[in-house]
Structure formats: C-alpha cells, structure tokens
Amino acid sequence: MLRKIDYQKELNPKQREAVFSTEGPHLVIAGAGSGKTRVLVYRVAYLVEKGINPEELLLLTFTRKAAAEMLRRASSLLDERCNRVSGGTFHSFANIVLRKYAPCLGLAANFTILDRSDAEDTINLIRTKLGFHKSKECFPRKGTLCALLSKSINKSESIKNVLSNEYARFMEWEGQIIRIKDEYAAYKSSKSLLDYDDLLVYLRKLLLEFDQIRLVLAKKYRYIMVDEYQDTNKLQAQIIGALASESKNIMAVGDDAQSIYAFRGANFKNIIDFPVIFKGAKLITLEENYRSTQPILNLTNEIIRQAEEGFEKMLYTRNPGDRLPVYIEMQDEHKQSEYVADKILALREEGLELSDMAVLFRSGWHSNDLEVELASRGIPFVKYGGQKFVEAAHVKDMLSYLRIVQNAFDHVSWYRLLLLMPGIGPKTAEAIIRQVVVQKSGFTVDSKAKIFSKTHQLAALFKLFNEIAANHYPPAEMLEICIEHYHPLLKEKYDDFDKRLKDIDSLVRIARRYRSLERFLTDMALEPPERNIVEAGLNNDERTHVSLSTIHSAKGLEWHTVFIIYLAEGHLPSYLSLEDSRQIEEERRLLYVAATRARENLFLLKPHIDRSPWNYFSKTNTVFTRPSRFLDENILGKFTSIESYPGKDSDALSANDIIEKKPGGASRAFLETIGEYFESGGD
C-alpha cells in the first residue's frame, strides 16, 4: 500500500532542503541532535517515491545495524520498495563487490576475512618465524605491529612516517617492520586471507585500476549517501570519489565538530575539503537541535566556536530550559566519585531512571574509583568501551573451528586449535599444518599417521571436520558439534570455564539467526557484538543500570543527565595531545561530543588534586590540577553554574590559584610510554 508522506509537516525547512536536493554533490553539516538520521531516512523514501529504482541507491554507514534501521524506517514511511536499497558498511559493501570480482584481482572468491585478533596472531607468527621476538632490544609486539601497519594503510602514510609521528621509540626497527609488512602481505595472498584493511585496499584498487568495473558500479549506484562522513579515512574517501565519478549524485552527511576517530585513521580533512574535492557541492547546515536545552547548547556552541577550523554553525532549540550546566571542583578523585554517586541517588529519588544517567570520561581507567564507589552504594552500572565479544579467547577458539570448515587451508585457525591440545606444541602443530595445508590434504589425512599418536583429541578433531563436511549443517548445529570437542579443552585451559561456557552459549544463540556459514563468519568479523552488552543480558530491565562510557563509545547516544569527569589538563585534553595542535583540536571535539549527549542536566567535574601515578606534571603522586583549557574562566563564568562540594579541604587552592605548570620539554618517548597505559584503558 502506497503512503503519502507529508514532508512539510514532518521536516523543518533545512531538513526538507536536504531531502529534496537530489542531483549533484551535497554536503550536509548536521549539528548534534539535529536529525541527520531523519534526513537520510526521508531522503531514501523521497528518491524511491520519485520513481528512482531502489537498486540504484547506495547507503553507506559505519554499522550495518544503522543502515538496516534506516531502511526499515524508510519502508514504514513509504513501502517495501525501500528494502531493496543497498545499505551497509564500507567493509560489508567491499566484501560483496570483491566476492563478485575477486578473480580480476587474483583473489579466490572464497577468501577468509581475518578479524583484528586473527591479524595480530598472523603477524606474530611471522614475527616469530623471522626471529624478531628474540631481540635483546625492545621490538614492537603483535598488537603494536598490527596497529602500525593498519594506520599506514588507512592514513595512506609510509611506515617511516607513522613510526616518526606515533611510534618514535621503534624507529630503529623500520627495516624489520617493513619486512614483516611484506611477509604478512605475501602470507595472506598465499592463503586467500584478507584483513579489514585489505577489503578497502582491494576495493579501491578495483575501482581505480579497472575502469570498466568502475563504470559498471558507478552506473549501478546513481545516488550515493554516506552517513558520518567525518569518520571516513582516505581510502573510504577515494572509494566514494570513484563510485560517484559518473552521476556526481553524492550526499555526505556528518559533523566536522564530531570528528573524534583519528586514532582509527579517520581523516578530518575529508569533510573539510569535500567542497573542494566535489566541485560545485551545495552546503546545507542543520542547526535546530531536538535533544538538548538551550543553556547546554550555549556552552557547546562556545566550546566549538574556539576551534581552529570547521564549518560555522550555531545550534539552537525550542526548548529554553532553566538549568545551566554545573561545574564542580572537588578535593580529589574519590570526592569526585562520591559526588557522582550522591547525585545519582538524589536524581533517582526525584523519579529519574538510572538508565537516563551516564558518566563519560576520556580514558577507561578514569572510572576505576567511581566503579568501586557505585558498587559500594549498590548502584548497578554497565561500562562501555571494553573488549569485543568475539575477541574473547574462548569465543575465538570456537570460531576457529568454523573458519576451518569454511576454508580447510586457514593456517591461523589450524594453529590456534592445535595448540589447545595437550601433547601438541608449536613444532608438532607446524608439522600437522604442513601436511594439511601445504600439501593440501585437507581433512583426508590418514588417521593411522604418526601425528595422531600425540593425542586422541587430534583424531577426534579430524573426525568432527569430516562429519561436518559430509553434511550441510547450519552454523548453530556446527557449533554444537564442535562444543563437544572443545569442552574438555576449555575446562583444562581456564579456571572460570563455567563463565566462559555462558559466552559460548550466547555465540550459539547468535548463530541460530543464520543459515549461511559464510554470512555468519562475515558478520562476526565485520560487525561483532560487544562482550559487555552480551554479559549484561539483553533481556535485563534497562532501567536498572547507570551507563559508564568512554566518550568515543558514547558518540551517537544521549541521556537525560550526563556527568563528565576528570576535566583537567592532562586528562581532557589527554597527555598525548599536549604537543600537537591537531590532536588538541580533536580533544576539543571530544568534549563537544560528550557535552552534546545531555538532554537536561550536564555536570562538569574536576578533581582539585590528582593523586594518580600517571600524572604528567610532576614526579610525585600528588599535584594540583589545572582546569581543562577548553573550559577557561570566560566560559565557566558565562555559561555554567559553579558549585562546590562538601569535603573540600579548607586550605585547598581555588581554580584561580592552581599551579600553572605547563607541559614542555618532555620527550615524545616519555609521552608515548605513559600513553600506552591510557590507550590500554581507553576506547
């Protein structure tokens, strides 16, 4: 049944302008809470309503869930035609295209996708093979190597430049790291393996070096929409440029003020330079905010107004509000925790649900004291910004079984499973892999072979694979068969195997949604669920938890009441940004993102004394803090209500008296050393 959409009623003037602007390049600068998702949903519906073939529309987002939800909403607005629109992430789109055109690039169509942990393990195999793990000097570990190589690709920078800018202490190993890079590439190519970065690299290669294929895809997708354009990297921008090369009908939606993912390779310049790259691009700015009160917006407008570069905008709302954001300085970290806990309990007594409150912070460790305080008060919370569900060792073990089923020559997965078994060490594992993978015998190895004498579980493993290969089980049933083999290994390896079994049960429940093994493994690699969400239980009453979150993990979310803690120099902005103006600007945008998560109440907190062993300003463990440079006296005095908290030392210095010991002269190596701690706990 066709529905008539009342755009006049449903959209404000600027939103309608964005929806109705269909031809040519457009950049929509969507301020926080201004309805950018609404614009994309209605634009999809409008294009289909106009008679555009839905299959000619491509909607690219940063999560497949976001794309699916947008298309669902568009379908509910118009009709089921909207479900035929192509929507997904850059990586999922690349996977679809590469499966079709793989032979053109010398790739096998059944290539396996390595997730981050798999990539690290593979790099470690190569690192060990080359003997670099035996170095007497500090050689980068597998995680660092993986991050370094990934940044080189996503930032389109040489290994030398990445080392110089971010890993200076490893500069002496440049030659060895380049060798690992080359060996890693050769290894993946020989085993039909692609990591996340490869998906984008090969897609770009396909579009830029195979003109006929580029033309086919460019003509197929005549209308392209990209969400969160400020988070794209150079590879993604080049892919978009190639796809839009014929029709020029590209709409990029994003907010330069919310560009906070440089550590992942996001390039702030992509959105800033969009009007230069796409000549004649029309700029549309969404400034009406539907989330926050005007006092909160006044503060956030002022914070971002002082940015060195960006598109001009001034957010406003029809919700005047009557409460200024509150700035509180207390004695120390523990008093900060006590204040937050007290306020949470007070607000709950006033009728506010716990789920409507969130505490945000720059790095994961900032909430350590608060977590203890909340637990002691009996205040339940969920923390976001932790380990991914599929990166848990026992979950990866289970997925390795299925990856071998999909690709019998997956060296990494074989190695992982074999080392789980008693009696099998690295040498024996390599011997088995040579027979199975190198000689390509697969699951047909003679069960009487000498290798099976090592452990009875090895023979059971091959029997298991042969059974699965002989039948067409769905993924969940495959997992259930594999669990029987894995259970004694799990029990032997982990003291808390009971808890880990619950994770595996969750994995089986997820697998029951799939009929295709390839689709299941692809989704688990590209869009894995987060461990903390699974552990919290999706069926729990969401009203019973306060959210604790890194700012990076909070982007895109909102709460009635938001607390931002540790607003001090060296914390926000972080230590590692203090000597780089570009990083300082990203830290400013981080504060902007955090503050714009609040609907009604915003609390800004700073411990007066920093007793953490990680402080930058002193070799002692106790220093006076300085307020974040993003909250200078003019901002605090004009846009916030400044309050005190009982318990502050009577002889403590005021904010105006705080020692102004500015960072300077510290070596980059020192910054990087302490930065390792922050990064390990951050998002």
Catalytic residue ranges: 36-37, 227-228, 258, 597
Non-local CB neighbours of 80 within 8 Å, separated by 6+ positions: none
Tell me the one-letter amino acid at 454: K
Burial of 145 (0-12, 13-18, 19+ CB in 10 A): buried
Task: Say if CB 596 and CB 291 are below 8 A apart.
Answer: yes
3-state secondary structure at position 28: strand
d(CA 308, CA 586): 11
Tell me the one-letter amino acid at 70: M
Helices 581-595 + 294-305 axis angle, to 10: 170
Task: Say if CB 30 and CB 253 are below 8 A apart.
Answer: yes
Task: Say if CB 550 and CB 380 are below 8 A apart.
Answer: no
Listed residue (435, 486, 480) closest to 461, CA to CA: 486
d(CA 625, CA 631): 13
Non-local CB neighbours of 582 within 8 Å, separated by 6+ positions: 262, 268
d(CA 69, CA 59): 12
Q: Tell me the Ramachandran region of residue 72: left when phi exceeds 0, alpha when psi lies from -120 to 50, beta otherwise.
A: alpha
Tell me the one-letter amino acid at 287: E
DSSP string over 366-396: GGHHHHHHHHHHT--EEEES--BGGGSHHHH
d(CA 48, CA 45): 5
Task: Say if CB 187 and CB 122 are below 8 A apart.
Answer: yes
Listed residue (38, 556, 24, 15) closest to 286, CA to CA: 15
d(CA 519, CA 525): 10
Task: Say if CB 28 and CB 18 are below 8 A apart.
Answer: yes
3-state secondary structure at position 278: coil
d(CA 227, CA 253): 5
Task: Say if CB 642 and CB 324 are below 8 A apart.
Answer: no
Burial of 470 (0-12, 13-18, 19+ CB in 10 A): exposed
Listed residue (190, 301, 194, 214) closest to 596, CA to CA: 301
Q: Tell me the Ramachandran region of residue 74: left when phi exceeds 0, alpha when psi lies from -120 to 50, beta otherwise.
A: alpha
Listed residue (94, 96, 99) closest to 240, CA to CA: 94
Neighbours of 480 (CB within 10 A): 13
